[in-house]
Amino acid sequence: MAALLEVKGLQAYYGQTQALHDVSFELEEGGITTLLGANGAGKTTTLRAVCGMVRTGGEINLGGKRINGVATEEIVRMGVAHVPEGRGTFVNLSVEENLKLGSFVQRDKSRVQRDLDLVFNYFPRLKERLQQQAGTLSGGEQQMLAIARALMLAPRLMLLDEPSFGLAPLVVQEIFRIMKRINEEEKVSMLLVEQNAALALNLADHAYVLETGNVVMSGPASVVKDDEGIRRSYLGY
Amino acid sequence: MAGIQKNILWAGIVVVLAVILPLIPGVSDYRVFQLTLVLVYAIALLGLNVLTGFNGQFSLGHGAFYAVGAYVAAIMMDKWDMPYYSTVPVAAIVCLVVGFLFGLPALRLEGHYLALATFALALAVPQMLKHKSIEEWTGGVQGIVIIKPDPPFGLPISQDQWLYYFTLFVAVILFVCAWNLLRGRTGRALVAIRDYHMAADTMGVNSALYKSLTFGVSAMYTGIAGALGAIAIQFVAPDSFTILLSITLLVGVVIGGLASIPGAIFGALFVVYTPNIASDISKAAPWAIYGIFLIVFMYLMPTGIWGGLRRLAALIASRRGSA
Amino acid sequence: MDLFIQQVTSGLANGAIYASVALALVMIYTATEHINFAQGEMAMFSCYVAWQLIDWGTPYWIAFFAAIAISFAGGVTIERVILRRFHNAPVLSLIIVFIGLLVIFNSVAGWIWSFIIKEFPSPFRNLDTGTTLVGPHDLGVVAITLVILTALFLFFRFTPLGLAMRAAAQNPVSAKLVGVRVGWMLALGWGLAAAVGAVAGMMVAPIVFLDPNMMAGILLYGFASALLGGITNPGGAVLGGFILGVLENLVGTYLIGNDLKLTVALVIVVSVLIFKPSGLFGKVRVKRV
């Protein structure tokens, strides 16, 4: 199967500081790949690089097409949905308005209601809170809203940055279950950044471990999960 | 040689140049008058720079303090027959107090709100100056005419040249004082308040007091400039001190270089000479040229002339280093 | 009593103009966190464009809408061509750029149309209001302003584009992540603000007569209204405009006389700001340490 996302020798810079030195990985169509590593390893930066939010060197290919230097909003229009760190919800807008923004780029307006129904199927709680101001939702609900909004974009690829952050374990489990369903039912490929390695390795098929801007380890998720040496040295458990 | 010594050397060279300039044959009295204005604006801009550049408090209203200083000088010389040199300390004290008093309520305002309050002040002052109730002091709309002082001790120089040296003398003192102030603890406190607004208090800096005092000192400098300017121009009237003056001062500070002492001099040169250059380029719409100038300038040299020069110097130094 | 009512109604008309300018300022501020100091001069320039069209024989309302369209295009162009290069510049640099724009518009207007005062027609002159308490033009001004405010409100609240613009202003990063072209949203905001300003200019010109310096005082009142209402609150800014318009008239008539009414009105605004720094209806910005 062709790789949907191919990253080769990626470098990334915040101003003069180089945050990524040499990151290479691949994401197969329909797969879930996770990027793991300690704080400051460069996981979030990698997602930002894929979205064109930071200055990059090296190669980023989406569906065979080079996207280095392309503006973020154009990359989004190519089918990439990013659920950022901190959710990125429009806190002053209602849940409905947040979701509607997700369909802003949707050419086919008749799809919008269909997509909304789809989203409510996955996240019934959002339907209950449709007119509520997004900033007043609980952490878990905001995370659901963020993923739902990404889903409204009908993306090929979803980037998720620490979806478990700050959420209670039961809520996290529910969200990860839904993510698995979305991947299987909607055929959305996912690139997942997570601090919670165990959770991520359960969901993903492939894993890459980053350390200070370099990929230090990679392999199928099942292998990484069972390798105690790797877990101890890189993942802290 | 050490940084400070280099600065002192440069300052010395500039002062010597300044002293020699009017004595060069061929430099007309009018040119000397223009140079005096450059010094006047340099003092005013230094005052504004201390407040806005170093301390981060916006003022769109410094024209008001300039006007107060100017009128103090005019009233003292015209109505009370006081000698010109006595007007400077009086203008200084009056503006220090007025500035400090204005600074107190302004403490609560920040950014745009402070800009509006100072803007309002700048607009209010000409209106107040025209008001009938104080007309016998201010001369109303017609203003006050001042007689140019003669050089003392029968020195063989023209009135314009003497005024230039007097202004230069005051300017040097003021610049040295500012430099000392900003170099030490006070300067660091001001910058701390500007950059780390909330943290400054936790660092033991009484930001409320500093901010009000800075307003006062800033107003004092600009007021002194106003007094000197009035003496040089020999005339004050409400319409000389419109909002345009306040805008010009702000422009001068940013173009010269925020938070820099030499910036005040470059800004003053810009303020005095650019309108002439602009009208040379276009008789019909000189201010349009001025406006285009401003925009292009901000794009190319956002740190002002002084910032631009420093970048150039750094570039040259690094080239030399690697060569 | 009649005098009082007349002062109030003409105050409301003036207030409508201040409200429009205030709204334009708030729109740009919300999107960019910058105060467009050139707003007044842009409005004045738009009014001259309308005047020129009328002078060439164009009927009033066609000139009116043409001026609005041209101003809209002008606003978009200014943002895309000039301001876009200053997106990350420090505040004071931006202020200088706005001052530059202000000066350019003023100077070019004076150059093309001279500084001689001109008359600008009011489309409401022959309207019969049925009472001497409200002048026909004043009534027209308030009506037009309310129409525009309503139209803008509906646009921002209920259209997808309006939603996208609000999103871009509130959270540009997230807006990009849903594919909103934030740069163009900014340009659109500028276009709308310029259009609103154009209306304000054309409404005030019949009252104060058209000359390149006509908007300076009005800009200040617009600014003061916006701050009075809370710089981030469009509804508050509009209300602030009406309040200030009426206040100005009442202060001028009953308190100080017209010489100092500018001063006094401003003193009032500044005093309000001392006690309520975010304005009457503004949100208090909680700053996290």
Share of chain A above pLDDT 90, in %: 66
Query: Is the separation of the CB atoms in B293 and B271 below 8 Å?
Result: no
Average pLDDT, chain A: 90
Residue B323 pLDDT: 55
Is the model's pLDDT at A113 over the cut of 60? Answer: yes
Closest by Cβ to B298, choosing from C96, C270, C274: C96
The answer to whether residue C198 neighbours chain B at the CB level (below 8 Å) is: no
Q: How close A223 gets to chain C, by Cα (Å)?
A: 34
Is the model's pLDDT at C132 over the cut of 80? Answer: no
Task: Report how far residue B150's alpha carbon sits from residue B141's, in angstroms, rounded to the nearest whole number.
Answer: 28
Question: A16: which DSSP letter?
Answer: T
What are φ and ψ of residue A17, in 5° steps? -85, 135
Structure-block tokens of residue B207: 């930001």
B255-298 confidence digits (pLDDT tens): 999 888 999 999 999 999 988 887 778 777 888 888 898 899 88
Going across the sheet that includes A189-193, the strands are: A65-66, A55-62, A3-14, A17-28, A214-220, A206-211, A32-37, A189-193, A157-161, A80-83
B51-106 confidence digits (pLDDT tens): 988 888 888 889 999 999 999 999 998 888 888 888 999 999 999 999 998 888 77
Q: How confident is the model at residue A49 (pLDDT cuts 50, 70, 90)?
A: very high
Query: Is the separation of the CB atoms in C195 and C37 below 8 Å?
Result: no
Q: What DSSP letter does each residue of B251-284 carry, written as one string? A: HHHHHH-TT-HHHHHHHHHHHHHHHHHHHHH-SS
- Rounded average pLDDT over C263-289: 70
Among A28, B106, A101, CA closest to C182: A101
Subunits next to C (3 or more Cβ pairs <8 Å) are A, B
Neighbours of C114 (CB within 10 A): 11
* Angle between helix B243-256 and helix B62-79 axes, rounded to 10 deg: 120
Best B101, B109, B112 member to test C by mutation, with max C CBs in 10 Å, is B112
Query: Is the separation of the CB atoms in B230 and B69 below 8 Å?
Result: yes
Among B50, B25, B89, B41, CA closest to B186: B50
What's the Cα-to-Cα distance from A40 to each of A35, A46, A159, C138, rounded to whole Å?
A: 13, 11, 18, 63
Residue A41 pLDDT: 86
The answer to whether residue C274 neighbours chain B at the CB level (below 8 Å) is: yes
Q: How confident is the model at residue C279 (pLDDT cuts 50, 70, 90)?
A: confident
**Residues paired with A220 in a beta bridge:** A206
Closest by Cβ to A90, choosing from C160, C170, C179: C170
Task: Report how far residue A70's alpha carbon sits from residue A64's, in angstroms, rounded to the nearest whole number.
Answer: 14
| Amino acid occupying residue A153 | L
Q: Which residue is it, tokens 């467009």?
A: C36
Q: Lowest mean pLDDT of A127-131, B37-41, B79-83, name the range.
A: B79-83
The answer to whether residue C90 neighbours chain B at the CB level (below 8 Å) is: yes
The answer to whether residue A101 neighbours chain C at the CB level (below 8 Å) is: yes
Task: Report how far residue C79's alpha carbon sits from residue C90's, in angstroms, rounded to the nearest whole number.
Answer: 17
Query: Is the separation of the CB atoms in A4 and A27 below 8 Å?
Result: yes
What are φ and ψ of residue B157, in 5° steps? -125, 165
Best C263, C267, C285 member to test B by mutation, with max B CBs in 10 Å, is C263
* Contact call for B115 and C85, based on CB within 8 A: no
Q: How confident is the model at residue B210 (pLDDT cuts 50, 70, 90)?
A: confident
The SS3 of residue A190 is strand
Structure-block tokens of residue B2: 């050490």
Residue C228 pLDDT: 85
> Looking at beta carbons, which residues of chain B come within 8 Å of C228?
none
Q: How confident is the model at residue C257 (pLDDT cuts 50, 70, 90)?
A: low
Task: Report how far residue B160's alpha carbon sits from residue B50's, in angstroms, rounded to the nearest whole number.
Answer: 29
* Contact call for C107 and B52, based on CB within 8 A: no
ipTM: 0.90
Best C173, C178, C184, C188 member to test A by mutation, with max A CBs in 10 Å, is C178
Task: Report how far residue A2's alpha carbon sits from residue C124's, in angstroms, rounded to the nearest whole number.
Answer: 69
Q: How confident is the model at residue B26 (pLDDT cuts 50, 70, 90)?
A: confident
The answer to whether residue C82 neighbours chain B at the CB level (below 8 Å) is: yes
Best B51, B116, B134 member to test C by mutation, with max C CBs in 10 Å, is B116
Q: Chains C, A in contact: 3+ Cβ pairs under 8 A?
A: yes
Higher pLDDT, A60 or B57: A60
Q: How confident is the model at residue C280 (pLDDT cuts 50, 70, 90)?
A: confident
Residue C258 pLDDT: 66
The answer to whether residue A38 neighbours chain C at the CB level (below 8 Å) is: no
Is the model's pLDDT at C233 over the cut of 90? Answer: no
B166-198 confidence digits (pLDDT tens): 999 999 999 999 988 888 888 888 888 888 777
> Looking at beta carbons, which residues of chain C come within 8 Å of B105?
270, 274
Task: Report how far residue A146's alpha carbon sits from residue A140's, in angstroms, rounded to the nearest whole number.
Answer: 10
Task: Report how far residue A148's alpha carbon sits from residue B18's, in angstroms, rounded to the nearest whole number.
Answer: 70
Residue C200 pLDDT: 93
Q: What DSSP letter does each residue of A106-155 carry, written as one string? A: -S-TTHHHHHHHHHHHH-HHHHHTTTSBGGGS-HHHHHHHHHHHHHHT--
Task: Report how far residue C60's alpha carbon sits from residue C53's, in angstroms, rounded to the nearest whole number.
Answer: 9
A191-223 confidence digits (pLDDT tens): 999 888 888 999 999 999 998 889 988 889 888
The answer to whether residue A90 neighbours chain C at the CB level (below 8 Å) is: yes
Q: How confident is the model at residue C213 (pLDDT cuts 50, 70, 90)?
A: confident
Q: How confident is the model at residue B1 (pLDDT cuts 50, 70, 90)?
A: low
C140-179 confidence digits (pLDDT tens): 999 999 999 899 999 998 999 999 999 998 899 999 999 9
Neighbours of B135 (CB within 10 A): 13
* Contact call for C174 and A89, based on CB within 8 A: yes
* Contact call for C178 and A104, based on CB within 8 A: yes
Task: Report how far residue B149's alpha carbon sits from residue B165's, in angstroms, rounded to the nearest whole number.
Answer: 13
C-alpha B226: how far from chain center: 9
Residue C284 pLDDT: 66
* Contact call for C178 and A100, based on CB within 8 A: no
Best C25, C42, C93, C289 member to test B by mutation, with max B CBs in 10 Å, is C93
* Contact call for A105 and C170, based on CB within 8 A: no
Q: Which of residues 152-211 of A touch C (CB under 8 A)?
A: 153
Q: Lowest mean pLDDT of B130-139, C8-17, C227-236, name the range.
A: B130-139
Q: Which residue is it, tokens 């981030």?
A: C232
Q: How confident is the model at residue A128 (pLDDT cuts 50, 70, 90)?
A: very high
Residue C285 pLDDT: 57
Is the model's pLDDT at A189 over the cut of 90? Answer: yes
Q: How confident is the model at residue A2 (pLDDT cuts 50, 70, 90)?
A: low
Q: How close C102 gets to chain B, by Cα (Å)?
A: 8
Residue A37 pLDDT: 86
The answer to whether residue A89 neighbours chain C at the CB level (below 8 Å) is: yes
Neighbours of C150 (CB within 10 A): 10
* Contact call for B123 and C262, based on CB within 8 A: yes
- Rounded average pLDDT over A139-156: 93
Average pLDDT, chain B: 86
Q: How close C167 gets to chain A, by Cα (Å)?
A: 7
Task: Report how far residue B223's alpha carbon sits from residue B62's, in angstroms, rounded to the nearest whole number.
Answer: 9
Best A70, A75, A87, A90 member to test C by mutation, with max C CBs in 10 Å, is A90
Q: Which residue is it, tokens 């400039």?
A: B225
Query: Is the separation of the CB atoms in C227 and C269 below 8 Å?
Result: yes
Among C72, C21, C67, CA closest to C47: C67
Task: Report how far residue A68's alpha carbon sits from residue C202's, in angstroms, rounded to the nearest whole number.
Answer: 48
> Looking at beta carbons, which residues of chain A come within 8 Å of C162?
none
Share of chain B above pLDDT 90, in %: 29
- Rounded average pLDDT over A154-160: 94
Q: Tell me the H-state helices in chain C.
A: 2-32, 39-55, 60-77, 91-113, 136-158, 160-170, 172-177, 182-208, 216-229, 234-250, 261-275
* Contact call for A93 and C170, based on CB within 8 A: yes
Among C165, C155, C187, CA closest to A101: C165
**Residues paired with B215 in a beta bridge:** none
> Looking at beta carbons, which residues of chain C come within 8 Å of A116?
none
Is the model's pLDDT at C289 over the cut of 60? Answer: no
Task: Report how far residue B116's alpha carbon sits from residue B59's, in angstroms, rounded to the nearest whole number.
Answer: 9
Residue B212 pLDDT: 87
Query: Is the separation of the CB atoms in A79 and A188 below 8 Å?
Result: no
Task: Report how far residue B265's alpha carbon sits from residue B253's, in angstroms, rounded to the nearest whole number.
Answer: 9
Q: Lowest mean pLDDT of B112-121, C266-275, C277-286, name the range.
A: C277-286
Closest by Cβ to C176, choosing from A73, A90, A91: A73
Q: CA quadruple C84, C89, C93, C95: dihedral positive or negative?
A: positive
* Contact call for B302 and C93, based on CB within 8 A: yes
- Rounded average pLDDT over C29-53: 91
> Looking at beta carbons, which residues of chain C come within 8 Å of A91?
170-171
* Contact call for A82 and C163, based on CB within 8 A: no
> Looking at beta carbons, which residues of chain C come within 8 Å of A92?
170
The answer to whether residue C100 neighbours chain B at the CB level (below 8 Å) is: yes
